[in-house]
Amino acid sequence: MLKVKDLWFRYPNSNWILKSLNLELYEGETLLVIGRSGCGKTTLIRALTGTGMHIYSGEARGVVEVDGKKLEEYSLEELRKVIQVVNQDPRTHFVYPNIYEDLYTYAIQIYRDEKKATEALELVSNSLKIKNLFNRLYFELSGGELRRTVIAKAILSKPKIIIFDEPLMWLDDIGVEDYLNVIESLRSYGISILIFEHRFMPLVTHVDRALILANGFIREISLDVFRKPFYSMQSEVKSRISSDEKGISINNLWFKYDGDWILRNVSIDIYRDDAVVIYGSNGSGKSTLLKIIAGYLKPVKGIVKRFGKAIYIPQLVSLFFTEESIELELRSICRNSGDFKKCYSKGYSILRSYGFDDLSQTPFNLSWGQQERLAIALALIANYNIFLLDEPFSGLTYLDRAALVDYLKSLPGAKVITISSKDSIPFLNGFKLYNLHNGSIIRDFSSDRVSQRIDLSNLSSVYSE
């Protein structure tokens, strides 16, 4: 169905990102492509669909054949009927905010006939169960609903191939389950599917083959070792003993937004060197709780006491950076300190000790994991000792997650991170787990008794073979 032979690709004024890449996707096959952040997964998608050449003015060499015909022989209109892409951020797919209007006008564009368009939309909306979303605006939908709607849009043209770019990004457990069900439906229709995802564990039992993309090359790998359920990969863990000095104390906290109680009677004590993880589905109030702890939002009722300086690092970590180089970030942070020279020299050595040797590079070009680590290091330099990280694992590979957890554990101060999917829990060895559900928070001791640890050697072997 899709044949790639000796594909090379580079952006203007850059080195080759894809180097002599070969790939075959057969009819009805589901193929998973994994790889570290920045390895070229999105670039490969751009090369396969032509956006790399037409939008980014990139240079491509080699052959891409879609359904037996070369990519360059397709008109854009023809191509849209054979291959479709679901981007990393599904919100970008909407031309009109109203779900029905967006899908209906797109169906008309394809079929150029109201009756055929209505029939196609009826069929797709029934099979993906999105009819109840028709009157809603796209930005009111949950991550799972958004993903389902965008997949509906992609299959409206009845393409033979669908490409997914990091489809599990931002999805909580319910959203992931929802997506996996949709994938099974697409497989039953015989559609060829190409999934690019670094959070691959939930997908391993839903794909036929897996490939790894690294250094511009692609090769087949076996994911058999990951085909057993997550929680069979468990081992013993010793609970981390933390200081008995409080870092954060929250008592009987209530918070209301738009008439609805988001947080109800939340009480929690976090000690000075505690590492805490708050698990909850999307929209459960995790970010709100972090912003209240940081002092940005005021609770309606209750008391929040911080015994230190709190910093909030957002889900989209790039929003944390304001300067064009790491050095300027350091200067900017130190300008707010009492002693610039002392702060700068301390900051310089902290950054170097955390692996940031080249201070002239821009923070915006770092990988997601590096950006998380840089944000934390800068906070450390500015003498923050309460670190609040909102879903830091969203853009990280499993190995990067493990590295970030180790990094966090090495830091002095209280660490609070939020997660929305259980597949991150195995990496959080030594963290105290709390569940946030219906506005209430409860301690989950299961993470102390049995750590659902993942065998990192298996993961490392996948990337290093």
Partner 1 sequence: MRNLAYIFAYKVNSNISLVTRLYIPLILMIFLIFAINIDYILMAAIQVIAVFILEFIIFMYIGGFKRIASAVILISIFIAMGLAIRFISIMLGYEPTKLEEMAISTSRVIEFFFAITIAMQWIRVSEYRWLFKKLRLEDIAILFTVTLTQLSSILVAYSEALTTIRLKYGGRGLQKIVKPLVIYSISYGRDVAEAIYMYGVPEPKVDISIGKIDILLIVAISSTLIFLGIAPKL
Q: Do 423 and 201 contact (CB within 8 A), yes or no?
A: yes
- Does position 462 bind partner 1 by CB under 8 A? no
- Does position 139 bind partner 1 by CB under 8 A? yes
Give the Å distances, CA to CA, from 428 to 5, 119, 261, 317, 405: 41, 48, 29, 20, 7
- Does position 101 bind partner 1 by CB under 8 A? yes
Our separate counts of H helices and E strands in the chain read: 14, 19
Identify which of residues 125 and 447 has a Cβ nearer to partner 1 in the complex.
125
- Figure out which of the listed residues 54, 69, 70, 131 binds partner 1, where binding follows CB under 8 A: 54
Q: Considering the complex, what minimum distance in angstroms separates the CB of residue 217 from partner 1?
A: 24
- Figure out which of the listed residues 152, 311, 419, 425 binds partner 1, where binding follows CB under 8 A: 311
**Pairwise CA distance, residues 419 & 172, whole Å:** 8
Q: Which residues between 147 and 176 bind partner 1 (CB under 8 A)? A: 153
Identify which of residues 300 and 316 has a Cβ nearer to partner 1 in the complex.
316
Q: Which stretch binds partner 1 (CB under 8 A): 104-112, 222-230, 275-283, 431-439?
A: 104-112
* Helix axes 143-155 and 173-188, enclosed angle (nearest 10): 20
Q: For residue 260, count CB atoms less than 10 angstroms from its CB and return exposed for 0-12, middle for 13-18, buried for 19 or more.
A: exposed
Q: Considering the complex, what minimum distance in angstroms separates the CB of residue 236 from partner 1?
A: 38
With left for phi above 0 and alpha for psi between -120 and 50, is residue 282 left, alpha or beta? beta
**Pairwise CA distance, residues 204 & 85, whole Å:** 21
Q: Helix, strand or coil for residue 342? A: helix
- Figure out which of the listed residues 72, 73, 78, 89 binds partner 1, where binding follows CB under 8 A: 89
Identify which of residues 119 and 406 has a Cβ nearer to partner 1 in the complex.
119
Q: Which stretch binds partner 1 (CB under 8 A): 2-10, 212-220, 289-297, 410-418?
A: 289-297
Q: Which stretch binds partner 1 (CB under 8 A): 18-26, 49-57, 122-130, 211-219?
A: 49-57
Q: Which stretch binds partner 1 (CB under 8 A): 11-19, 123-131, 185-193, 315-323?
A: 315-323
**Pairwise CA distance, residues 53 & 69, whole Å:** 18
Which tokens hold the place of 440?
Answer: 């209430």
Q: Which stretch binds partner 1 (CB under 8 A): 20-28, 89-97, 196-204, 441-449?
A: 89-97
The label of the residue with tokens 């939309």 reads: 121
Q: Considering the complex, what minimum distance in angstroms separates the CB of residue 109 from partner 1?
A: 4
- Does position 431 bind partner 1 by CB under 8 A? no
**Pairwise CA distance, residues 251 & 265, whole Å:** 8
**With contacts defined by CB under 8 A, how many residues of the chain interact with partner 1?**
54
- Does position 192 bind partner 1 by CB under 8 A? no
- Does position 78 bind partner 1 by CB under 8 A? no
Q: 18: which strand partners? A: 9
Sorted by sequence, the CB contacts under 8 Å of residue 349 that are 6+ apart come out as none
Sign of the dihedral defined by the CA atoms of residues 226, 197, 451, 439, in that order: negative
Q: Do 147 and 89 contact (CB within 8 A), yes or no?
A: no
Identify which of residues 80 and 147 has a Cβ nearer to partner 1 in the complex.
80
Phi and psi at 38, nearest 5°, equal 80, 10
Q: Considering the complex, what minimum distance in angstroms separates the CB of residue 259 from partner 1?
A: 8
The string over 15-28, giving b where at least 16 C-beta atoms fall within 10 Å of a residue's C-beta and e elsewhere, is eebbbebebebeeb
Q: Which stretch binds partner 1 (CB under 8 A): 14-22, 43-51, 223-231, 273-281?
A: 43-51
Q: Do 179 and 186 contact (CB within 8 A), yes or no?
A: no
Q: Considering the complex, what minimum distance in angstroms separates the CB of residue 221 from partner 1?
A: 28
Q: Which stretch binds partner 1 (CB under 8 A): 231-239, 264-272, 290-298, 447-455?
A: 290-298
Q: Which stretch binds partner 1 (CB under 8 A): 50-58, 218-226, 267-275, 401-409?
A: 50-58
Helices (H), 303-395: 326-335, 340-353, 368-381
CB neighbours of residue 450 within 10 Å? 13
- Interface mask (CB under 8 A) for partner 1, residues 319-338, using x and -? xxxxxx-------x---x--
CA 241 centroid distance within chain = 31
- Interface mask (CB under 8 A) for partner 1, residues 355-374, using x and -? ---------x----------
- Does position 291 bind partner 1 by CB under 8 A? yes
Q: Do 414 and 385 contact (CB within 8 A), yes or no?
A: yes
Q: Which residues make up the interface to partner 1 (CB under 8 A)?
A: 46, 49-51, 54-55, 76, 80, 84-85, 87-89, 91-98, 101, 104-106, 108-109, 135, 137, 139, 153, 258-259, 291, 294-296, 310-316, 318-324, 332, 336, 364
